[in-house]
């Protein structure tokens, strides 16, 4: 009996133990179910974040090109070294190793990696060799990463247009700033795998989102004309010891800026080494009283309204005019009776005041507005100012004795250039612009900037009449030093007193010359100003020669025929017919399209043009200054054994050389900028399809032309 009772007790204990074990198992299994099912997502995310570290990847900043595809701003690869101090156990030895690898003082490195910060820069933008030295050390908590640095291959070339980007690839000035959002692109994301101690595991990174590169900016600048403008402006800046100087070249038919430069200049690769004043783009950021170049406004208004004719005579008071308001208007010469043409040509202030009186103050104000003074032009450069044109009800009795010849009104150089370009364009004011198109990394045009007409400021007839008067300025008036024997120039001189310390200085001037060439078929409108030239200061003799040199060199470069020359037309096409694009690369096609005034788009894979939507030799007849569009089909040209004879390309522009070589199918390689000076194979040699053709180019220097007489202003 006692044995049975003992047995039952054992059985109860076993059952209790089994129950306890079952309860424990159920608890454990319940906990596991809770952790693995209900907390699965949370713990998976926690483990993922511990194992993988997200890292942002930077896109490539878009490049900036001139109108023919020449690089003006690009990227070069540099390297950064960073540390995670909270992962570094032996900071002293790590700092010593980094100091040797980077060539940086030990104390400086140690101070950067001290503490328990999660991140710290050790060195930025170091050469590749030093970054490799750091990587080879395999230091805990230290990484080397690649980044891009902005580089401007031509240094000072078009610095005030391009601007510059900072160390973080942020556009700070110029086009870099104006189009920063387009150039920047979109960052990507990469997850980097790490071990339990936080060290990077060398394995393939898992890319979550690819970076999107920035758009490339294709400008309206012509690198050769830009070079010519900068060289000639720098010569005058040094010769006359000016405080500053500016120049711009525009296509008056489209408003495209072909060149823009200022002195003093700077290298955007080292922009922080130049004084901040050097960064200023005076063409759009400066406003000043223009002086005699502003006489264009009253002159155009008087002709358009029929207030005067070119041969109407006015008495110019022998150099001193006592107005009804007690102010004395003076001239630089003691003129008596002058025709309106002579008043404009000799730059008589007294005569222009009397002409403006015929026009009336309401009309004068209206034409100031028509030409766009008092408001910004809308040029796509940062920091443009509007100048000052006071409302008509704020004019005083003295206003009509000062505004007609460019005082009591302030303008910017770009406004003055646009005004004269409007006359060259038959009386139509165009919006100045510096960018032609935005292109993605695959060569697809994302956005085009078409020429934009603002308004008509005068009739074509009036524009032609004022052009003749501007030609007279250069032929017989104050601009005779600017005359070219083979081209008619239409222009106006200006010599304006500077307003300083509350009064007009008798010794400080802004000297300028603005005009266009050739007068009968304008290709270039050019503005030149010199701030406070020393010694000789008349605009016709200081700024005028700069205009002359730039004009004649640009005309030679662009093969614009003179009065005694026949038009130069390339084989297979020219400015007035559709050229053949077959066999050309994308870049070569862009050159040739620009020469012909065509807007092209590419279609299909391949590296050379195999077909074009407009037949070669067809006539070009653009309407309303809008370029004709055509599609070029890309592909792989069929092999050909056809032979051709190498033409003489010396003296031809790159674009014209391409037009001549297109039918031969040769592979063209250019060296240098400007026109062709030498070639290989030589002219007359038989060549086959695909043979390389090397062309060496130089910027042309026109022969010095005699001419000019005496003049003023």
pLDDT tens digits, one per residue of 466-499: 999 999 999 999 999 999 988 999 999 999 988 8
State the Cα–Cα distance between residues 574 and 264, nearest whole angstrom.
39
Q: What percent of the chain has pLDDT over 70?
A: 85
pLDDT digits (tens, 9 = 90+) for 581-609: 776 777 667 767 766 777 888 887 777 78
Of the candidates 282, 283, 231, which has an alpha carbon nearest to the alpha carbon of residue 417? 283
Region label for 624, one of left (φ > 0), alpha (ψ between -120 and 50) or beta (otherwise): left
pLDDT at 83 over 90: no
Q: Which pLDDT does position 309 carry in this prediction?
A: 96
Give the 3-state secondary structure percentages of the chain, helix then strand then coil, rounded to 5. 35, 25, 35
Q: Which pLDDT does position 545 carry in this prediction?
A: 95
pLDDT at 454 over 90: yes
Q: Which pLDDT does position 698 carry in this prediction?
A: 78
SS (H, E, C) 154-173: CCCCCHHHHCEECCCCCEEE
Contact 528, 492 (CB under 8 A): no
Q: Which pLDDT does position 620 carry in this prediction?
A: 65
Residue 540 is encoded by which pair of tokens? 């016709």
Residue 82: which H helix or E strand, with range?
A: strand 71-83
| DSSP letter assigned to residue 211 | -
Label the pairing between strands 244-251 and 524-531. Answer: antiparallel
**Maximum distance among all alpha carbons in the chain?**
156
Per DSSP, the three-state class of 458 is coil
* DSSP secondary structure letters along 113-152: H-SS-S-EEEEEEE-HHHHHHHHHH--TTEEEEEEEEEE-
Q: Where in the chain is the domain with CATH 3.90.1310.10?
A: 54-219
| Range 54-219 classified under CATH 3.90.1310.10 | yes
Per DSSP, the three-state class of 464 is helix
State the Cα–Cα distance between residues 454 and 433, nearest whole angstrom.
12
Helix axes 539-557, 223-239, angle to 10 degrees: 160
Residue 427 is encoded by which pair of tokens? 């009386």
| DSSP letter assigned to residue 37 | I
Contact 532, 510 (CB under 8 A): yes
| DSSP letter assigned to residue 273 | G
- In which residue are the tokens 């054994």 written? 641
pLDDT at 172 over 90: yes
pLDDT at 111 over 90: no
- List of residues 6+ apart from 526 with CB closer than 8 A: 247, 248, 249, 250, 417, 514, 515, 516, 517, 547, 550, 551
Residue 374 is encoded by which pair of tokens? 């008092």
Query: Around Cβ 689, how many Cβ atoms within 10 Å?
Result: 17
Of the candidates 458, 393, 464, which has an alpha carbon nearest to the alpha carbon of residue 428? 458
pLDDT digits (tens, 9 = 90+) for 617-639: 676 665 555 667 888 888 776 54
Contact 99, 57 (CB under 8 A): no
Contact 649, 680 (CB under 8 A): no
State the Cα–Cα distance between residues 529 and 509, nearest whole angstrom.
10
pLDDT digits (tens, 9 = 90+) for 1-15: 566 666 677 777 788
Q: Which pLDDT does position 260 carry in this prediction?
A: 98
Contact 251, 523 (CB under 8 A): yes
State the Cα–Cα distance between residues 251 and 421, nearest whole angstrom.
8
State the Cα–Cα distance between residues 457 and 299, nearest whole angstrom.
12
Of the candidates 207, 204, 193, which has an alpha carbon nearest to the alpha carbon of residue 50? 193
Q: Which fold has domain 223-557?
A: Beta-lactamase (3.40.710)
Q: Which pLDDT does position 568 carry in this prediction?
A: 41
- In which residue are the tokens 């540390």 written? 83
State the Cα–Cα distance between residues 429 and 420, nearest whole angstrom.
9
- List of residues 6+ apart from 19 with CB closer than 8 A: none
State the Cα–Cα distance between residues 298 and 302, nearest whole angstrom.
6
pTM (2 decimals)? 0.74
Q: Which pLDDT does position 623 carry in this prediction?
A: 56
Q: Which pLDDT does position 184 carry in this prediction?
A: 92
State the Cα–Cα distance between residues 351 and 150, nearest whole angstrom.
54
Which residues are designated catalytic?
A: 292
- List of residues 6+ apart from 340 with CB closer than 8 A: 299, 302, 308, 309, 310, 311, 312, 313, 314, 351, 355, 469
Q: Where in the chain is the domain with CATH 3.40.710.10?
A: 223-557
């Amino acid at each position: 009996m006692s044995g049975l009772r003992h047995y039952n007790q054992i059985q109860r204990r076993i059952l209790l133990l089994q129950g306890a074990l079952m309860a424990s198992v159920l608890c454990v299994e319940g906990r596991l179910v809770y952790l693995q099912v209900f907390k699965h997502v949370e713990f998976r995310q926690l483990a993922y974040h511990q194992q993988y570290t997200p890292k942002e990847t930077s896109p490539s900043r878009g490049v900036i090109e001139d109108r023919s595809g020449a690089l003006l701003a690009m990227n070069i690869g540099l390297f950064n070294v960073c540390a995670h101090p909270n992962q570094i156990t032996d900071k002293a030895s790590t700092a010593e190793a980094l100091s040797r690898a980077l060539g940086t003082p030990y104390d400086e490195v140690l101070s950067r990696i001290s503490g328990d910060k999660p991140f710290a820069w050790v060195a930025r933008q170091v050469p590749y060799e030093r970054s490799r030295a750091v990587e080879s050390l395999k230091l805990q908590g230290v990484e080397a990463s690649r980044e891009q640095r902005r580089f401007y291959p031509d240094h000072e070339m078009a610095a005030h247009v391009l601007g510059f980007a900072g160390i973080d690839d942020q556009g700070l000035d110029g086009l870099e700033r104006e189009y920063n959002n387009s150039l920047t692109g979109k960052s990507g994301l990469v997850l980097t795998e790490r071990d339990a101690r936080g060290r990077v595991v060398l394995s393939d990174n898992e890319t979550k989102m690819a970076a999107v590169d920035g758009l490339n900016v294709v400008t309206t600048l012509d690198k050769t004309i830009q070079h010519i403008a900068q060289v000639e402006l720098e010569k005058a800046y040094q010769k006359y010891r000016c405080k500053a100087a500016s120049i711009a070249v525009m296509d008056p038919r489209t408003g495209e800026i072909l060149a823009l430069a200022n002195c003093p200049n700077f290298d955007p690769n080292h922009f922080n080494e130049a004084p901040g004043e050097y960064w200023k783009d005076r063409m759009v950021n400066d406003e000043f009283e223009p002086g005699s170049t502003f006489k264009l406004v009253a002159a155009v208004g008087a002709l358009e309204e029929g207030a005067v004719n070119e041969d109407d005579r006015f008495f110019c008071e022998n150099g001193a005019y006592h107005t009804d308001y007690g102010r004395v208007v003076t001239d630089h010469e003691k003129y008596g009776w002058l025709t309106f043409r002579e008043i404009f040509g000799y730059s008589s202030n007294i005569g222009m005041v009397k002409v403006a009186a015929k026009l009336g103050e309401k009309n004068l104000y209206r034409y100031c507005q028509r030409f766009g003074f008092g408001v910004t032009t809308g040029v796509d450069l940062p920091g443009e100012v509007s100048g000052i044109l006071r409302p008509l009800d704020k004019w005083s009795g003295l206003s009509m004795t000062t505004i007609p010849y460019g005082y009591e009104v302030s303008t910017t150089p770009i406004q003055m250039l646009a005004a004269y370009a409007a006359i060259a364009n038959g009386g139509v004011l165009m919006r100045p612009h510096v960018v032609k198109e935005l292109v993605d990394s695959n060569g697809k045009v994302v956005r085009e900037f078409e020429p934009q007409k603002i308004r008509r400021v005068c009739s074509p007839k009036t524009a032609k009449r004022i052009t003749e008067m501007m030609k007279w300025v250069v032929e017989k008036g104050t601009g005779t030093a600017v005359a070219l024997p083979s081209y008619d120039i239409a222009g106006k001189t200006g010599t304006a007193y500077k307003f300083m310390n509350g009064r007009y200085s008798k010794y400080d001037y802004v000297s300028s010359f603005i005009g266009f060439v050739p007068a009968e078929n304008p290709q270039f409108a050019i503005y030149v100003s010199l701030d406070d030239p020393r010694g000789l200061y008349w605009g016709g003799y200081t700024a005028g020669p700069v205009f002359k040199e730039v004009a004649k060199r640009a005309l030679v470069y662009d093969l614009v025929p003179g009065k005694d020359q026949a038009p130069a037309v390339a084989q297979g096409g020219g400015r007035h017919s559709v050229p053949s694009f077959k066999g050309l690369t994308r870049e070569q096609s862009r050159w040739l399209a620009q020469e012909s005034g065509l807007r092209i788009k590419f279609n299909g894979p391949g590296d050379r043009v195999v077909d074009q939507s407009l037949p070669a030799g067809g006539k070009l007849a653009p309407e309303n200054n809008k370029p004709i569009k055509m599609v070029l089909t890309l592909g792989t040209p069929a092999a050909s054994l056809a032979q051709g004879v190498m033409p003489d390309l010396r003296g031809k522009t790159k674009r014209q050389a391409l037009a001549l070589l297109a039918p031969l199918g040769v592979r063209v390689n250019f060296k240098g900028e400007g026109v062709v000076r030498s070639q290989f194979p030589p002219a007359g040699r038989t060549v086959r399809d695909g043979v390389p053709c090397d062309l060496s180019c130089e910027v042309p220097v026109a022969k010095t032309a005699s001419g000019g007489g005496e003049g003023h202003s």
